[in-house]
Amino acid sequence: MPHGTPDWGLVGPKKTTYGLDDLGEHAVRLGSPVLWDRRGDVLVADAFDRGLGEWNWNYNGTGADVQLWTGENRQGAYCVNLVAGKTTNGWAGISRAIPYAVRSRIGLEASVGLDADTSNWQWAITWRDGAWVWDARMRYDFQNQVLQYYDDAAAWQTFATGVKVRAWSGAWSTGKLVVDLTTQEYVRALFADHEYDLSAYGIVKSTTATVVELTVSLIQFGVLGANPEGKVDSVIVTRNEP
């Protein structure tokens, strides 16, 4: 017997419901964190419901800490609380090594909860290709309300100004950085309700590498003299970005 969809098509007329032919939408309705920007094939989608076991964490400065947090989450039961140290260059961050994929465009998305004493948040994609270490970064400078990328001369360059989001009071800000591992160039950045074209910019390379490795990191830096508690949740790593 023949199989397939009914003669009238995939969806029929309904009065109280709508048909669904988007499996991404289906996944989101079942609780997937991949809901803000759905481009790319997902390698990692972590809302920390399984804890921090798959992540490394580190911090610097007096009073710094990294904690699994059970309140004020964007999704699910947990998020991560990054407490930056209050001394010079105080920060706290998490990182995760990803199995090295076929070279393509890689994306790193994360939602962050800002503290009034957050200096900046960074999204970082670092990879070793057997010859070089490449370090791509985006940061949101909360105190100056600007977005910046880390250029091929190892300097921060501003690509958006007047970027105003609220300090932590139950509101989340989501950002995503996309880079091309094949051309060693930035592709685009997303933050809050805007998307920015970064395709004209190269990525810094440094120390020679003899291994292949891909790592993603989320880092909060604090204002000197404060211990800001910044939250991070719903971290998504993608490949084959358009």
Residue-wise pLDDT tens digits, 205-214: 998 878 899 9
Residue 230: which CATH number?
A: 2.60.120.200
Residue 222 predicted with pLDDT over 90: yes
Q: How confident is the model at residue 1 (pLDDT cuts 50, 70, 90)?
A: very low
**Per-residue pLDDT band at 37 (split at 50, 70, 90):** confident
In a domain, 90, yes or no: yes
Inside any domain, residue 15: no
Residue at 133 is within a domain: yes
Confidence of residue 31 (pLDDT cuts 50, 70, 90): low
Q: Does 163 or 8 have the greater pLDDT score?
A: 163
What are 38-74's pLDDT values in tens digits? 788 989 899 999 999 999 999 999 999 999 999 888 8
Residue 36 lies in a domain: no
- Does a structural domain hold residue 21? no
- 192 conformational bin, left if phi > 0, alpha if psi -120 to 50, beta if neither: left
Position 4 in a domain: no
Q: With respect to residue 175, please indicate whether it lies within any of the assigned structural domains.
A: yes
**Alpha-carbon distances of 11 from 2, 19, 28, 90, 95, rounded to whole Å:** 18, 6, 20, 55, 43
pLDDT in tens, 68-120: 999 888 888 899 999 999 999 999 999 999 987 788 999 999 999 999 999 99
Residue 146 Ramachandran class (φ > 0 left, ψ -120 to 50 alpha, else beta) = beta
Give the separation between CA 151 and CA 142, rounded to whole angstroms.
Answer: 20
Q: What is the pLDDT of residue 164?
A: 95
Both structure tokens of 142: 């909360």
Can you give the residue range of the structural domain that contains 109? Answer: 42-239
Number of domains in the chain: 1
Confidence of residue 16 (pLDDT cuts 50, 70, 90): low
In a domain, 64, yes or no: yes
